Amino acid sequence: MAEHGNLKRIIAVAFVFLFLFFGISGMTASANEEQEDIFTEEEKAYIESCETLKVGYVRDRKPVSFHDENGELAGISKKIFDRISQISGLKFQYVELPAGEVTYNYLLEQEFDLVTGVEYNKANQAAKGILISNPYLSSRKVIVAREGLVFDEDGHFTVAISTGSQTIRKVLTERYPNFELVDYDTIEDCLDAVNEGEVDLLIQNQYVVEYWLYKPGYDNLKVIPVMGLDDQLCFSAVTPLEQTDDGIWHEKELQISIINKSIAQMSDGEVAGYIIESTMGNMYKFTFWDFVYQYRVTLIVLLIAVLSICVLLYVNMHIRIRAINDRADAKAKGDFLSTMSHEIRTPLNGLLSLNYLMSQNLDNKQKISNYLKQSSSVAQYLLSLVNNILDMSKLRESEVELEHRPVNLALLLDTVESVEKGSMEDKGIHFHMDVELPYPGIVGDEVRIQQILINVIDNARKYTPNGGDVTVKIRQTKTIDGQISTQADIVDTGRGMSEEFQKRIFDPFTQENDTVSQGNQGTGLGMAICSLLAKRMGGSLSVESELGVGSHFTFVFVAPLTDITEQVNGQEDGKAADPVLTKPNILLAEDNELNGQILTELLEGEGFQVTHTENGRSAVEAFYKSAPGEYQVILMDLLMPEMNGFEAAKAIRDMDRPDAASVRIFACTANSFKEDRDKAMESGMDDFITKPIDVAELLRKLEDCGNRED
C-alpha cells in the first residue's frame, strides 16, 4: 500500500501540472462568456442596489470550505463565489458558522443572507425558510476503511462523524440503522480514528476524503464507493418561515436566480480546475524510496546516487518553484524543471545501464571492475551536482555564514598553485602565477576564497587548448578606511565567449551551447556560486572575453588587515617519530538496516571492530553496558526512532563514567545545514560527517581516533 499511495500522489501532482498547462484556454473561454448579457433588467437593478451579502460557511470541509494561512475562507466554495461575483457583480462577506448543527433561528437572528455547502436534495427543496440554488458541485459519498475490512450494509460498524458534517447524521441513521455514530471535532480527527482502529468507518464527501488521503500517513486506508448516496452541494438563501412579505421573498428569489445564471456560465472544466487547485494546491512534497538492488558490489554507488537525487529534488524543486511562484514566472519554472530533469536523468540512465551490464557479466571480473569505476565517476558527478545546488540554495536564501578568521594569503595561493600546476602540465598549458602581497594577513573565509580561485582557474584550464596560457595575477591595495582590497585577474588564451553568453555566465545552469561537443561536462552552477560568494564577501566577480582570443576574469574582495604568524609544516630535525595507532572500536547507531549493513561491512573490511545498534536508545544502552574505554568512537545518525541522535549524544555525555566525556561522537547524517551542525555540537558531538559518506574522509578521521602505542 505504501507504493500504491506514493504512486497515487505522483499521478495526482502530474495531473495538477497538466491542468495548469492546458486549462488556460478553458478559463479564457469562460471569461468571454461572462460578458454576455445574461441578466434581466430587474436582476441588473438588484445587483446595482445590492450591498454586501453575508454568507455562512462551515470551515472543516477541506477542500470545499476551509481557512487559508491568513484565517480567511478558501476552497472550492470560495472560488465559486469569487467567480459568481466576477460574473454578476454581487459582493459577499464570509462568516464562519459555529460547529455542530446550525439552527434556522440562528441564521435568521444573525441576518445571514446565504449559506454555502448545503446538500441539494428533495428535503431541502421542500424545507421552509430556505431557497436553494442549482448544484455547483457534484460528487458522491464514499466510505473510508482500513485495508482488510469487509463492508456489509447490514452489519454493525462504528462510524466517525465530525461536528462540521452533522447534516449527514440523519441520512446515515435512516439508511444504516445498525451503525453506531461516534463524534469527533474535525474530519482529520475522524480519519485518524479510522486509521488507528478506534472506529471502523468514515462516510464523507468524495472530494473531502481525497483531499485528506493525499496527506502522508493514510496509506493503509482504502476508499469504498457508496451506491445511491450522491452528494450535490448548492447555496441556500435564508428567508422567513412563512411567505408573509412578498418583497423579501422576491428579493431572495432574485438572489438565487442571479446565482443560478452565474453557475450556468461556468464550464465543467472550470469547476474541475477549482477542485484540483483546492485539493492539490499545496501538495508539492514528494517522497522517493530507496532503490534496493540485488548485487552487493553496487549498493554503495547506487545509494549515493539515490540520496543525491532525493536531496537535489527536495531542496531545489521546493526552493526554485517557490522563487518562481513569487515572480509569477511560468517560463522560468518550465526551464528549471526541464534542466533538472536532464541533469538528473542523464547520469541516472548511465547508472542504471551500468547496473544492468554488471548483472549480465558477473563472471567477468575485468568488466565488473571497469563498470564500478564508471559508476563511481557518475555518482561523484551527481554528488557534486547536489553540493552545488545546496550552495546555490543557501546563498540565495542568505543562509551561508562566511568565516571571519585570520588568513595567510601567501600560504593559500601556494596551495592553489600546487593544486592547479599538475593538471595544467598534463594538458600542456603554460601556467604562471604573478603574486604581489604587501598585506598577506587578512580576516576572511579561507575555504571560500580558495573555492572561487580554484573554480575560476579550473574553468580557464577547461577551455584553454594544449599549448595555451593561463596567468593568475594577484595585487593588493589599501582602502580609505584601512581595509585591504585584493584583486585576482585570471587570464587565459582559450576559445573565449560570445557577448550574449557573457551576460548569462553567472546565471544558474548556464553553459555555452557547444560545451558537450567540446567534452566539458558540468552543471553550469560553478560561476553562479562564485559570483554569489564574491558578493557575500563585499566584492565582485566579472568577465571580459572575445571569441577565439580568450577570457579575463576579475575577482575582487575587501577584508580587514590582521597580523599572521608564518606556519611551518613538517617536523623538526631530531623530533620523535609519530606513535603507532591501533584502530578504534566503533559503536554505530543507524536505524536504516541497509545503511547499517553497508557501513558495518565497509568498516570491518578496513579492520575496525563495529557494534551496530538500531536507534539512539539502544546505542545509549550499549555504551552504558560496555566496559570503560571499550568504545573509542560512536557514529551517530541524527533522525532515529525512540531516541534521536541529539538526545542520545547528550545522554552519553551525562553518564557518570570516565569515558563518557572522552569518547568521540561523530554525527553521521544526510542533514547538512548549518543549524543541524550547530545542534549536533550543542548536544555534545565532536564532528559532523554528511551522507553520502566520503569513505576516505571517514577512514582518515577514524584513524586519528586510534589508541597510541609507543
From residue 282, how far is each of 364, 393, 426 by CA, in Å?
50, 21, 52
Claim to verify: residue 258 and residue 199 sit in the same structural domain: no
User: What SS3 class is residue 282?
Assistant: coil
Are 89 and 47 within one domain?
Answer: yes
What distance in Å separates the CA atoms of residue 578 and residue 289, rounded to the nearest whole number?
46
**Number of neighbours of residue 469 by Cβ within 10 angstroms:** 16
Average pLDDT over residues 473-499: 90
CA angle 452, 384, 312 (to 5 degrees): 115
* Among candidate residues 164, 165, 160, the one with its CA nearest the CA of residue 180: 160
Q: At residue 663, what is the residue type?
A: V
Helix locations, 427-525, DSSP H:
446-462, 499-504
- What single-letter DSSP state applies at residue 97? P
Asked if residue 289 belongs to a domain, the reply is: no
Average of per-residue pLDDT across 545-557: 90
Last residue of a domain, one of 350, 375, 396: 396
* Residue 504: predicted pLDDT: 77
492 and 545 assigned to the same domain: yes
Same domain, 111 and 123: yes
pLDDT at 400 over 70: no
pLDDT at 431: 92
End-of-domain residue from the set 396, 418, 435: 396
Tell me whether residue 650 is in a domain. yes
Across 112-150, b (16+ Cβ under 10 Å) vs e yields bbbbbbbbbbeeeeeeeebbbbebbbebebbbbbeeeee
Cα–chain center distance at 125: 48
Q: Are 145 and 196 in contact (CB under 8 A)?
A: no
Q: Do residues 11 and 104 both lie within one domain?
A: yes
% pLDDT > 90, the chain:
13
Separation between Cα atoms, residue 337 and residue 358, nearest integer Å: 31
Other Cβ atoms less than 10 A from the Cβ of 364: the count is 13
Q: How far is CA 478 from CA 452, 472, 538, in A?
A: 22, 20, 15
Q: What is the mean pLDDT of the segment spanning 205-219?
A: 75
Backbone angles phi, psi at 92, to 5 degrees: -130, 145
pLDDT surpasses 80 at 304: no
**Angle at 709 (CA atoms; ends 704, 710), nearest 5 degrees:** 120
Residue 223 included in any domain: yes
**Contact (CB, 8 A) for 76 and 63:** yes
If one compares 699 and 3, the residue with the highest pLDDT of the two is: 699
Q: Is the pLDDT of residue 194 over 60?
A: yes
3 pLDDT band, cuts 50/70/90, is very low
> Measured between alpha carbons, how far is 166 from 161 in angstroms, rounded to an integer?
7
Nearest residue to 665 (alpha-carbon basis) of 690, 642, 682, 684: 684
Q: Nearest 5°: phi and psi at 635?
A: -95, 115
Same domain for 302 and 388, yes or no, is yes
CA-to-CA distance for 507 and 594, rounded, in angstroms?
A: 39
Q: Show the cell assigned to 215.
A: 496527506
Mean pLDDT value across the chain:
77
pLDDT digits (tens, 9 = 90+) for 115-143: 887 777 776 766 666 788 888 888 778 88
171 and 118 within one domain: no
Q: How many percent of the chain have pLDDT more than 70?
A: 72
Give the span between the Cα atoms of 226 and 232, in whole angstroms. Answer: 14
Q: What is the domain extent for residue 682?
A: 580-709
The set of cell numbers assigned to 223 is 476508499
Looking at the domain assignment, is residue 571 inside a domain?
A: no
Q: What is the CATH number of the domain that holds 596?
A: 3.40.50.2300
At residue 384 the predicted structure's pLDDT band, cuts being 50, 70 and 90, is low
The Cα–Cα gap between 269 and 232 comes to 17
* pLDDT tens column, 230-252: 777 888 888 766 655 667 778 88
Q: pLDDT band at residue 284, thresholds of 50, 70 and 90?
A: very low
For residue 564, tell me if it sits in a domain.
no
Distance CA 161, CA 144 (A): 12
Cis peptide before 63 (omega within 30 of 0): yes
Tally of domains within the chain: 5
- Domain with 410 in it: what CATH number? 3.30.565.10
pLDDT of res. 292:
41
At 562, the amino acid letter reads T
Q: In this structure, are residues 46 and 258 in contact, taking their beta carbons and an 8 Å threshold?
A: yes
Query: CATH number, domain at 197?
Result: 3.40.190.10
The answer on 526 and 440 residing in a single domain is: yes
Q: Rounding to the nearest 10 degrees, give the CA dihedral for residues 295, 296, 302, 303.
A: 140
Pick the closest to residue 560 from 485, 459, 654, 504 (CA basis): 485
Of 377, 396, 415, the last residue of a domain is 396
Q: Are residue 32 and residue 165 in the same domain, yes or no? A: no
Give just the sign of the alpha carbon dihedral 132, 137, 138, 142: negative
Strands 633-636 and 585-589: parallel
Residues 527 and 553 in one domain: yes
Strand-pair partners of 666: 635, 687
Cis peptide before 347 (omega within 30 of 0): no
pLDDT tens digits along 366-375: 878 777 777 7
Query: Is residue 157 a part of any domain in this protein?
Result: yes
Cβ-based burial of 619 (10 A; exposed 0-12, middle 13-18, buried ≥19): buried
414 and 380 assigned to the same domain: no
Contact by Cβ (8 Å): 670, 311: yes
Cα dihedral sign, 682-684-689-691: negative
Please give the single-letter amino acid code of residue 296. R
Q: Is residue 574 part of a domain?
A: no
CA-CA distance, 571 to 560, in Å (whole number)?
32
Biggest alpha carbon distance in the chain?
A: 114
| Distance (Å) of CA 562 to CA 107, 442, 483 | 75, 5, 10
pLDDT band at 199 (very low <50, low <70, confident <90, very high): very high
Domain membership of residue 575 (yes or no) is no
* Across 147-153, average pLDDT: 86
Closest CA to 420 of 411, 433, 434: 433
Work out the average pLDDT over 409-430. Answer: 86
Shared-domain flag, residues 14 and 113: yes
